Amino acid sequence: MSFPDSVISEAWRRSGGYCECARKEHGHSGRCYKQLAWENRGRETGRGAWEAHHIVAGGPDIASNCEILCWDCHSKTRTFG
């Protein structure tokens, strides 16, 4: 499933335009905080590329289950789960 635009907008505002990833297996000692660009959502390359990601796979399409991830972190979630 995918998030409605309203949920993505809410999660984006919450993130402040920065990657929300805090997965230690991605090499973070805390949160990633890579700066993102709204217009680069879904792009694999480019400055500030990012995607909305379900925190709990198969969970509801709501803001509390949506995290904003830079493309590097988003790609790693497919590797690490």
3-class secondary structure for 43-71? CCCCCCCEEEEECCCCCCCCHHHEEEEEH
* Whether the predicted model's global pTM rises above the 0.85 cut: yes
Is the pLDDT score of 80 beyond 70? Answer: no
DSSP run (H or E) holding 80: helix 71-80
- Residue matched to tokens 């709501």: 62
- For 14-55, write each residue's pLDDT tens digit: 999 999 999 999 988 899 999 999 999 999 888 999 999 999
Confidence of residue 78 (pLDDT cuts 50, 70, 90): confident
Structure tokens at 16: 């402040």
H helix or E strand, kind and range, residue 14: helix 5-15
